[in-house]
Amino acid sequence: MPEPKSYKWFLDFLTPNEGHMHGVETILYAKQTKYQQMEIMVTRNYGRCLVLDGKMQSSEYDEFIYHEALVHPALLTHPNPKKVFIVGGGEGATLREILRHKSVEHVLMVDIDQEVVESCKKYLPEWHQGSFDDPRTRLEFRDARKYLEETKDVYDVIIIDISEPMEEGPAYLLYTKEFYQIVMDRLSKNGIISLQAGTTSLTSLLCFSAVYQTLKSVFPIVRPYQAIIPCFGLPWGFALASKMVDPQSFSQEEIDKRIADRLKGELQYYNGEIHHGQFLLPKHIRQRAERETRIIEDNHPLFAYD
């Protein structure tokens, strides 16, 4: 086994007992914003990376996997998505993937941390690819939960693209039953939400399982799934929750047809085969999620390291 190089290392703690090391060439930008510690670094294996509060958010070389997995299952399951709401999504890549859908007429992205978004605009242009300037885009810098509580607007799809629920971080109240009820109330008749739900690692299934059970306490249809995001160092979980439409009711051929008919450009990761396969969780993950009793609530939040 070769000796490790002498350049600097970033240790991404996945749990208190496990981490993923990245060789770092340089730090392009670092700042403590009003809400979180932000770093944009260049790593040897994954290129430029966004790190928030010491946690890897996305990398130049594999962000397409995360963002295609987060966005397209929900938008392709919906019969005709026109209005989409993004909770978070600072890099602009979630926005980029949504805007590939020809039916989409309006996207509202609400992120609490303007400094993160502005830094990503400057240092991570491959992520957003000009999506912030698309005429269908509206960008707000405020508390997304408060916005959804106060608006009367409804959306066909709501994508929740936020960091893990860290104690004293900006996201932990966006994982609760009360928040999911707010989201449910802001969806149209065929409305769907999609979110990242934490790792599906064998030893760290609490967050994924609790998010699944919390969603089930609000939505009639909840379908958990996973994808392999190499820069994260562990397999990663997602969930799709719907008012009426089941993403597993479509054939592989139907998903591929919808991709061909409804999207602009070529996808790098997602297709009909992946759509079906990602919902087929291994037995140990499925059993743990189904047995979970924890419901995340405002007065009983869950943190990534609980």
Strands 155-161 and 235-242: unpaired
The structure tokens listed for 98 are 């949504």
Specify the CATH superfamily of domain 8-59.
Spermidine synthase, tetramerisation domain (2.30.140.10)
Amino acid letter for position 183:
V
3-state secondary structure of 38: strand
What is the structure's pLDDT at 166? Answer: 64
CATH of the structural domain 63-291, one choice from 3.40.640.10, 3.40.50.620, 3.40.50.150, 3.30.43.10: 3.40.50.150
3-state secondary structure of 14: strand
What is the structure's pLDDT at 305? Answer: 59
Alpha carbon distances (Å) from 141 to 110, 154, 241, 247, 269: 6, 19, 25, 31, 30
What is the structure's pLDDT at 18? Answer: 83
4 secondary structure, DSSP code: P
Catalogue the active-site residues.
161
What is the structure's pLDDT at 22? Answer: 93
Q: What are phi and psi of 150, to 5 degrees?
A: -95, -25
Strand order in the sheet with 55-59: 8-15, 18-32, 37-43, 47-52, 55-59
What is the structure's pLDDT at 301? Answer: 86
pLDDT per residue, tens digit, the chain (306 aa), is 555 555 699 998 877 788 889 999 999 999 999 999 999 999 999 999 999 999 999 999 999 999 999 999 999 999 999 999 999 999 999 999 999 999 999 999 999 999 999 999 999 999 999 999 999 999 999 999 999 999 999 999 999 999 877 666 667 899 999 999 999 999 999 999 999 999 999 888 999 999 999 999 999 999 999 999 999 999 999 999 999 999 999 999 999 999 999 999 999 999 999 999 999 999 999 999 999 999 999 998 887 655
40: which residues sit within 8 A by CB, 6+ positions away?
Answer: 27, 28, 29, 30, 48, 49, 50, 51, 119, 120, 123, 124
Domain ranges across the chain: 8-59, 63-291
Per the listing, tokens 């085969």 go with 273
Strands 83-88 and 155-161: parallel
